Structure 1
Amino acid sequence: MARNAKVDEDRVVGALPWNERLSYGASDFACSFTFSLIGTYLMYFYTDVFGITAGAVGTLMLVARIIDAFDGPFWGVMIDHTHTKWGKSRPFLLWFNAPFAIFTVLCFTTPDLPMFWKIVWAYVTYIGIDVLYSAVNIPLTSILPSMTENSDERVLLSTIRSLFSNFGGTLISVIALPLVGLFGGGNNQRGFFLLAVMAAVVFFVIYLVVFANLREHVQTEQSQKPLPIKESLKALKSNWPWVIVIVLNFVYWLGMQTKGQVTIYFFKYNLGRPGLVSFALLFNAIGLVSVFLTPRVVIKFGKKKTLLGGLMISVIGQLLMGAGAAMLNIPIIIAGIVIGNFGNGFVGALIAVLLADAVDYGEWKNGVRAEGIVTSASSFTAKFGMGIGGAISGLLLAWGHYIPNKTQPASALFAIEANYIWVPMLALIISFILILFYKLTPDKEREMSAYLTKKHFREKNKEN
């Protein structure tokens, strides 16, 4: 019994086996491999392959995010109300695996329909994939504070997750267009459909492995039973770290989405070099370097300074890209992409960690541990930001009189450049300002962690 108690205490401290660490990372490889395909290429697929106008696509993404305003909190409440032999967050990885994979394929299916029904099809499938993405991705964030209480271990887990996520997103971005050509043999509709089938199968298999390996080790009195909505909302009271993180999440991903989904437009129309799209997206892998460095940098400088540094580096990258765009100088643009992606790696690696800290803060401050409702806001705000970014992209293209597969007027070229360079740069600057107000210091984190570790260990021993 004493030996088992020691194992439990070690797990509270944070000693997780590598199969769990790697499985946690693999989960976001699967998510990024599929959802980056949607985020990077779906708008182009709609306008240049499926034949929907840019204005209609922008409206679709805006409407989808209004609907999406409800699904993030919904899944958070569902997680807090779930109590199974598998835990609270983990079951969702199994239950919604297949539905998400199916809708991934449906998003890139092109039924022969009149324009009105094409738009209806796009609405149903796009909203469906958004809702289901929350169902499979929110649990990845909500399970983190249940895997370990140790701050350093959380940084390591989030780093591994970000490494896998960056690799998955980069991989699909780079291979997508070559595979469309290979699978389709000149038929882009068929090529995108078969690419989506491949991505869906990869996702389905990996998520089965992830479900089998992850465990929820941090068990509290509240985690052993469903948590009423009214009670879970108390975790948000005066939880200012949570407020800053969710606003950051919205602004940051708005900028990243406008940039990501017009990459192919920028190289195809502004630079006249569509063949460089995969090459440019390959440099997303630069973020792997900064993600890998994140734990060491955090130990030396702390989470706040690391985030600020990453955001500043990203701003410099965007400025360099702007200079390259003005001169139509591809090497300068590529240099800006490299620098920007290096900075973004630090940001992506730490957002989930700050959310896990917000879960702890809510319990420490208000006595309520509500992983679902606290972390679900992350998915909601990220997706809402991506949706607004998508709407901005589509509406700017419509304003610029963009016409698919034609020589673009100056107004359309400006709209594409604004989406790719200036909107993301503004989002990064606002994100930097937000983090200046983040004041959860390392000393406060240690005090909070020590208190909660003792509290949870007492509760566990009380149960036994």
Structure 2
Amino acid sequence: MTTTTTNKLSVKEKVAYGLGDTGCNFVWQTVMLFLAYFYTDIYGLSPAHMGTMFLLVRFIDAVTDPIMGSIVDRTRSKHGRYRPYLLWIAVPFGVACMLAFFTPDFGATGKLIYAYTSYIFLTLMYTAINVPYCAMANALTNDSSERTSLQSYRFALSTAGGLIVAMVALPLVDIIGQGNTQKGYLGAMAVMGLGAIALFFFSFANTKERYVPTEERQSALQDLKRLMKNSQWRILFIVNVVLLTGVVFKGASTMYYVKVVMGRADLATIFMVSGMLANIVGAMLSSPLFGKYNKPTMYRILTVLSGILAALLYLVDPANVPAVFTLVVLLGVVQMSTTPILWSMMSDVVDYEKTRSNRSLSGMVFSTNLFAIKLGIALGGAGVGWILAWAGYEGGAAVQTPKAINAINLLFTVIPGVFFALLAIFMLFYKLDNHKLAQIKSDLAELELPHDPLSAEPVQPQKDREALV
């Protein structure tokens, strides 16, 4: 395939790309906000079983995510390398969402087996569509600043998908279920799945891959070993695990916090909507406010601020609804403004790897970081389940013990705040700042030129390129 380079993207294409993640977030936010609560209070799993399942399924991801990244990096089709998966996997992904929220009429063992099976299927389909979707950003443009802008559009629209979930999911459960919450959740998730399918089709039809390097094929194991030697990739891998652990502690405990700690189940929808609106604002402000500054520096500042805001929420009286909402909104703006920066840095790591080894491992970089994200989700989900079990939380009970109430409060505030603040420490070791990125862009331009050993300097060896950071 001939490589072409295009720096600027149209607003239409950025929107089309972002709408793909809107569809993905129809499922992602549903899982983040409702699956833990669904399993314990609707489906009937114990918190300990739920937490253990979330963690054990990640062992499957440890294998499937790198395999999917390798498959994507080796895909050749008339539609490109990454886009075809939006077409091929959209329908199975939508179906998987619905099946995960189906409550079969089985005994306790049968329901546990079904929960594992349907959740594994959902995670496999998520991997199959999200790995190529994320990696596709590098094929749309090779400009680092433009990628940050693209990711801002993506996460603003992605959060809009989460906003739709927060606004309509519970009302749909009531409308469809007519008092039968199990039926209501199944119907509501069927609607979300259909919406996701339509948006993935739209994203496929309105994006174009322009920057796809042509390389010799090598084994997936060689590529994975090569990537693991990349110090900057290792840092972002750890950051994603820590980040998502904190995010899930907060997200999975949201319903519990509103219902149990605040005692205001009637505010659940508006509470989540407020957070989502704040996230949209944060994603939209990220590129114009922080795009011209060094990404690692801004990321460190914003994550520390996120940690402080989250921890402060523990000190607020849950009955003081305006104060709770104010802090939740501020945290949503600040935290989401970090997300486009982080995903743009993942694209920068792809470019850095190209200068290290002359291998474009976009699929592998994003698949392994997707595994890191899911590992963080598993650790957070397992932690929520285990802490609730330790605190004596009883699913569906009208009254909870003070120990359980305090545990939920900590899960929503202090615990995620600590994880957010820890990110700044890890990011001290990330060195791909604006100066390094300019050098990498220059190196990539050299690599694309035909190499003449008689008239040009030899290509810098891998070990020296690693030393640059």
Q: TM-score, normalised by structure 1?
A: 0.92
Matches within 5 A, 1:329-408: 329-406=320-397, 407-408=399-400
Check the 8 A contact 2:6/2:211 in 1, yes or no.
no
Tell me which residue corresponds to 1:120: 113
Matches within 5 A, 1:205-284: 205-222=198-215, 226-233=217-224, 235-236=226-227, 238-284=229-275
Aligned letter for 2:154?
A: R
Check the 8 A contact 2:306/2:421 in 1, yes or no.
no
Check the 8 A contact 2:19/2:154 in 1, yes or no.
yes
1:175 is displaced (CA, Å) by: 2.1
- Cα distance change of structure 1 residues 266 and 217 upon mapping to structure 2, 3 Å threshold: same
1:213 is displaced (CA, Å) by: 2.2
Aligned letter for 1:419?
A: L
- Cα distance change of structure 1 residues 299 and 121 upon mapping to structure 2, 3 Å threshold: closer
Tell me which residue corresponds to 2:22: 29
1:157 is displaced (CA, Å) by: 0.7
1:238 is displaced (CA, Å) by: 4.0
Check the 8 A contact 2:3/2:212 in 1, yes or no.
no
Check the 8 A contact 1:149/1:453 in 2, yes or no.
no
Q: 2:428 aligns with which of 405, 411, 436?
A: 436
> SS state of the match for residue 110, structure 2?
helix
Aligned letter for 1:376?
A: S
1:332 is displaced (CA, Å) by: 2.1
- Cα distance change of structure 1 residues 233 and 66 upon mapping to structure 2, 3 Å threshold: closer
Matches within 5 A, 1:24-63: 24-63=17-56
| TM-superposition CA deviations, 1:410-433 (whole Å, max 9, x none) | 221122122211221111011121
Q: 1:318 aligns with which of 292, 299, 310?
A: 310
Separation of aligned partners in 1, 2:191 and 2:156 = 22
Q: 1:184 aligns with which of 177, 184, 191?
A: 177
**2:121 equivalent to 1:100:** no
Separation of aligned partners in 1, 2:228 and 2:375 = 22
> SS state of the match for residue 96, structure 1?
helix
Structure 1, 155-164 or 176-185: larger mean CA deviation: 176-185
> SS state of the match for residue 84, structure 2?
helix
Check the 8 A contact 2:312/2:413 in 1, yes or no.
no
Matches within 5 A, 1:60-71: 60-71=53-64
> SS state of the match for residue 109, structure 1?
coil
Moved >4 Å (runs of 4+): 8-11
Higher helix share: 1
1:9 is displaced (CA, Å) by: 12
Q: 1:204 aligns with which of 184, 197, 200?
A: 197
| TM-superposition CA deviations, 1:387-423 (whole Å, max 9, x none) | 1100000111111111122111122112212221122
Separation of aligned partners in 1, 2:152 and 2:3 = 21
- Cα distance change of structure 1 residues 194 and 186 upon mapping to structure 2, 3 Å threshold: same
Number of aligned residues: 449
Check the 8 A contact 1:183/1:190 in 2, yes or no.
yes
Separation of aligned partners in 1, 2:222 and 2:360 = 9
Check the 8 A contact 1:310/1:347 in 2, yes or no.
yes
**2:65 equivalent to 1:72:** yes
Separation of aligned partners in 2, 1:439 and 1:235 = 19
Aligned letter for 1:35?
A: W
Q: TM-score, normalised by structure 2?
A: 0.91
Aligned CA RMSD, in angstroms, stands at 2.0
Separation of aligned partners in 1, 2:315 and 2:226 = 46
Aligned letter for 2:382?
A: A
- Cα distance change of structure 1 residues 162 and 36 upon mapping to structure 2, 3 Å threshold: same
1:10 is displaced (CA, Å) by: 12
1:146 is displaced (CA, Å) by: 1.6
1:65 is displaced (CA, Å) by: 1.6
> SS state of the match for residue 202, structure 2?
helix
Separation of aligned partners in 2, 1:425 and 1:228 = 41
Q: 2:83 aligns with which of 90, 94, 119?
A: 90
Aligned letter for 2:130?
A: N
Separation of aligned partners in 1, 2:357 and 2:67 = 22
| TM-superposition CA deviations, 1:219-247 (whole Å, max 9, x none) | 3221xx64422442365254222111111
Amino-acid identity (%): 29
Return 5+ residue gaps in structure 1 as ranges.
1-7, 460-464
Check the 8 A contact 1:320/1:332 in 2, yes or no.
no
| TM-superposition CA deviations, 1:13-34 (whole Å, max 9, x none) | 4122333211110011111112
**2:271 equivalent to 1:296:** no
Check the 8 A contact 1:234/1:368 in 2, yes or no.
no
Check the 8 A contact 2:131/2:370 in 1, yes or no.
yes
Tell me which residue corresponds to 1:462: none
Aligned letter for 1:259?
A: K
Separation of aligned partners in 2, 1:165 and 1:259 = 18
